[in-house]
Structures are given as structure tokens and as C-alpha cells.
Chains A and B, each alone.
Chain A
């Protein structure tokens, strides 16, 4: 099948350093202001008050986090708000040594999915772990939210600074 492969030209750093090829650059000038919606808007206001909340669907019986105003499985409106615990279980985690553009960081970030107590089994959120050595993090570990001081909360997911071991 060799004959069906085009001899595409791969460039190297040298081609640019020696000015053999030219290129054009551009920076987008786009800014966004997202309305947070009915469900997540309320969720964020509750975070500001220091509480985690979910939505209950009477049709399937799931208590869901992140909360939603309609159940994507039953395709009907969800029925009520439920105040959840601010504790949970790590269902998976990573120890991340690089930023998005592949630069090394000094101390690894510890992103995790945390199944929240009071929600249906396995339903959780993405957040970060803290106050724990990277080599001590385990799947199944029990954790609790560390809230920012009330005066510093703005109604954002970052009103929880991180989750720490129970």
C-alpha cells in the first residue's frame, strides 16, 4: 500500500530556526459570560452557603449531582432538591505533574472523582484533593470538603477549596 501514501512534508524546529518556512499567527479575541442556568445556578448559590445539593427524580429514584432540572434518562422534570453531605468516597484520581501546555509543576495536582454521600451510588463530582501526601491517596478513600471561609465564597465550584481525608 506504500504507493497510496502521499509524501507529505514534515517540518522540524530547524526549518523555523533557519527561516526556511514562513507562518502567520493570530490570537482570538473572544470572551464569554455564561448564565449558570436553573439547576446549576441554584447549586452554586448553595455552595456559597456551604452546602452541596442534588436533584431527585421520582420516576427513576436517582438523587443526582451535579443537579439537573430534567432527568436525561426518564426525560421528565426532576422533582425536588435534596441537601447532601459534604463527605464522599474517591472513585478515581490522578497525580498530575504537568499543566495543560505540558509544563512541569512542582507539587502534583490531585484531581479526583468524589462520589458524594447522600446522592445515588456512584454519582459524584470532579474536584481536587488536599492535605494528603500523593502516595497516600487511594481509590475508596473517604474524604470531606474543605470550604473556603464564608466571606470568600462567590458561588462557584471553587468555594470548596479541596477535599481532604476524613
Chain B
């Protein structure tokens, strides 16, 4: 099957904040205009627009992407919105990729926006509808249950304790101290701080979690002939993959994300990656909770099952380690405006592979990175491999 080569040529984002004065549409515009400016393009250079954002229930706005589209540069253009829960932030650039790889468009603007602060008293009120409406919701579940149940299954399966997992939160919040858009950077946080934070839903504690955030991120993606013209440093999309498991989550082994492995296998095959641990130089796995980074590193086959905590303890995943993981600071450090948070990871790879990550730059001129997002009822994995 013939596919055109696709590059990311520009990226921009808003600061991530707890509650933005800007509307969702204004946030989208801020990120989109920064991305266009970064590659010296205007809306005239854009053939189509891809939007990633949460379900209407968060914003209380019907057809939310149509509402957002003006801020995303969608006026008078082909516009599409995809939504796969928390996996959206990596799925949106995958959609951008196939818009261009198919030959249908030369240049696409991809915008992911989330304004979670509007949903009162807490966006969990909208999140709760994820549980089965007949067999689960009468039990009055709480979204934290999903994570607590999965985290406990993972910890118990491999005999891990909270200390093994808390180090991820510490690493990412410290990394985020160097990110100019970060909400939660903290250069001095310690494992003890995480272990002493409020227990929300054992084993989940306050500092194991990334909080509600407002923000937006945008990318410009182009076909090779455009990319070569607009930048000396295009970052190529080498592989994409996505996979959805069943919503019958109580029938699955929660200690391992098989669907992430399936998504990674699809992306690695396209990228010609046979030994991920050797051929990938930076990873940005989805980390809304600290254990999720470990879970996903294993699903991405970057560490053996149950071995990601040990690698973290050895410093392998530090920014100057052998495999830097979440050098951005991740969702735990930069913040978690869902779709925007996932695409922040793709933007981070873009800046890292171009050597433009500033104080966060990982050493050794990395050539290839993987970003991954996750969501729904612990059932979706979205994966993208980028190369310099």
C-alpha cells in the first residue's frame, strides 16, 4: 500500500493551568496560533484540521468540536474530530498522519484542547458515566476506583510497594520544573512527600495522581515536499498504532495492558523496530497516575513485565539515563488536560528530537522516540513513533 511520508513541522501550546480565564475556543486558538507561528505558516497553508477534545459532558457544550473549530483554524475547511477517551491526545496526530499519508492533504493542523474546570463541582460528575449504566453505576462508583483497582492488581502481581511506584511521580514532577508550560513542576519533591500525601482510594494517594487542568496543544503536519521547504529539521512519523480492548473490564487481567502491546506492535512494525529497547531513545508513556507510566513502559515492551519499577529505581528512566522517560514532566508534572496532555507528549518528542527542549533536553542527540496514550475503561492504547 502506498503511503506518503509525513512530518511534524511545527508545535505550540498554552500554559497548563488549573482554571483558565480563556474559553475553550480561546485556548485552542492560543495553541494553534503558536504552532503556526513556529513554522512560519498561516491558515492559508492549512488544508484540513483535526480536533481532539473530550465528550460534550465535560464542557456542557453540544457538538463541542464544532464550537471549538474556529479556534482550531477550521473556518471553511475540512474538519474532523476523533475521540478515544484519554487515548485521544496521541490518536489526533495519528489522524493527522493518515490525512496526509493518504495523499488527500499536504498540510494539516492538529489541535487538542481540554477545559476541565467548567464541570462543577468536579469533572468526575461527567467521568462517572464511563461505568456500565446498568450493572455498575447503581453501586455509586468513583472514577478513582478504576485506577486503584488496576494499580492494586499490578502491585500485587509483581510484589511492588508504594515506594517503587512513588519514584515515578517524583521524577516527573522534578522534570516538569524545567517545562515553561507546567502546572505542577517541583524540583524539590521527595518520595516521602508522595508517601505522606492524603490516601484517596488505596493504593492511590493524592500525589500519585495528576489533577484537573485546562490547556491546549497544536501540531502542524506536512507531506515531505512541504516539510523539506518549511524546515531544515522535520520530525518524521515512522509508525502509528492503536487498539481497543473489550469494555467488559472485570473479565480482564488488569495487571498488564495487552491492548497497549498490540498498539505498539502495530506502530513498531510500521517503523521497522524489532528491538524497541535498543532502537527507541526517548519514551513519553501516558502517566495520569504514577503506576501507569510503569504499566505502559511494559506494554510498550521497553521493559519486561514487572521490571519497569526496578529500571526506574536504577535511574535508567531519568532524563540523563539510558532510556529517558517523560522528560517533559508528563501528566504528573506538566498537567492533565486530557487530549491536550496526550499530545503534549508528541510535542515533547518533536522538540527533543530537534534538540530544542532547552533545560529539558536529553543528552546524546536522540534519534527516535515513542509517545503513547491510554483511556476509556482501561481499554484503549494509542502509539506513535517519531524519528529525526
Contact = CB atoms under 8 A, between A and B. Distances in A.
Nearest to B33: A6
Given A4-B12, A99-B142, A124 B153 contact: no
B377 to A, nearest CB: 11
Contacts of B143: 100
B138 A6 contact: no
Interface residues of B, number: 69
Interface string A98-142: 111110000011011100000000111111100000000001000
Contacts of B152: 92-94, 139
Interface string B1-36: 000000000011111111111100001001101110
A128 B124 CA distance: 20
Given A8-B27, A10-B20, A1 B199 contact: no
A84 to B, nearest CB: 13
B141 A126 contact: yes
Q: B19, B60, B252: which has the most chain A beta carbons within 10 Å?
A: B19
Contacts of A3: 38
A113 B233 CA distance: 49
Contacts of B203: 94
Contact of A111 (B19, B27, B149, B199): B149
A53 to B, nearest CB: 13
Interface string B143-169: 111001110110010000000000000
B201 A98 contact: yes
A160 B262 CA distance: 37
Interface in B166-221: 180-181, 198-204, 214-215
Contacts of B301: none
A123 B251 contact: yes
Task: Name the residue in B16, B128, B141 with the highest tally of chain A Cβ atoms < 10 Å from its Cβ.
Answer: B141
B121 A97 contact: no
A9 B135 contact: no
A104 B139 CA distance: 18
B142 A44 contact: no
Q: Which of B13, B153, B251 has the most CB of A within 10 A?
A: B251
Contacts of A128: 139
A68 B132 CA distance: 13
Interface in A12-61: 15, 21, 25-26, 28, 32, 34, 36-37, 40, 43-44
A148 to B, nearest CB: 13
Interface residues of A, number: 56
Contact of A1 (B135, B144, B198, B356): B356
Nearest to B137: A157
Contacts of A25: 120
A66 B11 CA distance: 45
B153 A96 contact: no
B264 to A, nearest CB: 21
Given A5-B14, A102-B122, A40 B144 contact: no
A101 B125 CA distance: 7
Contacts of B122: 100-102
A5 B134 contact: no
Contacts of B272: none
B51 to A, nearest CB: 18
Contact of B30 (A1, A6, A36, A100): A6
A113 B15 contact: no
A72 interface: yes
B54 to A, nearest CB: 16
Contacts of B253: 122
Nearest to A32: B133
A64 interface: yes
Interface of B: 11-22, 27, 30-31, 33-35, 37-38, 60, 120-122, 124-125, 128, 131-136, 138-145, 148-150, 152-153, 156, 180-181, 198-204, 214-215, 246, 248, 250-254, 351, 356-358
4 closest A-B pairs (Cβ-Cβ)? Answer: A10-B17, A94-B148, A6-B30, A96-B201
